[in-house]
Amino acid sequence: MQEVFDLYNKIKKVSKSNKDIDSISNLFFELYIKNCEFLSSTSQVNLISKVPTKQYFSFSYNNKISRAVNKGSYIPDQVEVYRIFNNLVNGDYSILSPEEITKCLYTISISFCCTIDLLKQGDQKTPGTFFEYFISHWFSRILELRPTSRVDVLNLDMRTSLPTDFIYDLGQNKPKIHLPVKTSTRERVIQVWAHQKLLDGVYGVGRFLGMLVCLTETKVDKKSKEVIEICVPEQWRLYQMYIAQMDSIYYLDVPIKYFELNNIYPPIRVKQFGEFFYDIQTLIEDGNYNV
């Protein structure tokens, strides 16, 4: 399946250029189709879910199994995925539900990740990089902006810049968006709050809205075939209270423990990613930064 890697490398290249945004969207969907072609040659293995209300399976190929796939979020019908994807590209969000959007983008994302799981041994970087490009692509489409990955830091002695996650500048008298993107957080999540703290310290609280986007927090035991969600909600609460305030955290497969943080102090807005498409419109059109 060399075509999968060729398309992936092409997406990496054109995403860094000023190429027409629609052509990049087409490349993502073309890659999804190639992933489906490969995955159709695999078998599916039902996993033992230790996550309440969720069921998972893995793709199996050459005695290897992929990461877990949420049965309730994965759309097996390519025609249905195309319908939703095409409406997103055309900006027709109003005829789609947040659930439809989330499932479509989850399906495309997890299909690539599973393909790489089965074709390459122990490659975590490629799925992570793909997911960064994929999520930032949708931010760029909606905001009609290209992100930067450095911010200026001023001090008394020198002018320098600092590498960051994706940054979107919405313009004068509007906030900037700080966008970390991760396939999963695990122990690295403190970096997200640390970067937000740094931006708050340099530019002032509220100038950067932190919006973390993640794929999932599942982990599969390859021997027992058990699936769990690895979550540290109490740590998140401490980070939100004592380090910095993240505005929103979006998932394509929302962990139950993190979703519960919406209802306890300090509230952390944890949502399915499909809601972003409505939240951002409210922010842009109404200037409401508390979506």
| Mean pLDDT of the 199-225 span | 94
- Whether the full predicted model's pTM is greater than 0.85, yes or no, is yes
Q: Report residue 288 as tokens.
A: 């409401």
Tell me the sheet residues that pair with 144.
none
**Cis before 266? omega within 30:** yes
Predicted pLDDT of residue 19: 74
C-beta neighbour count of 142 within 10 angstroms: 17
pLDDT tens digit string along 3-12? 999 999 999 9
Q: Answer whether residue 26 shows pLDDT above 90.
A: yes
Segment among 84-98, 143-157, 209-223 with least mean pLDDT: 143-157
- In the sheet that holds 48-49, the strands lie side by side as 48-49, 226-229, 218-221
Q: Answer whether residue 160 shows pLDDT above 90.
A: no
Average pLDDT, whole number, for the chain?
92
Band the pLDDT of 173: cuts 50, 70, 90.
Answer: confident
Segment among 40-54, 123-137, 194-208 with least mean pLDDT: 194-208
Q: Answer whether residue 279 shows pLDDT above 70.
A: yes
| Crossing angle of the two packed helices 98-119 and 78-89, in degrees rounded to 10 | 120
Predicted pLDDT of residue 139: 96
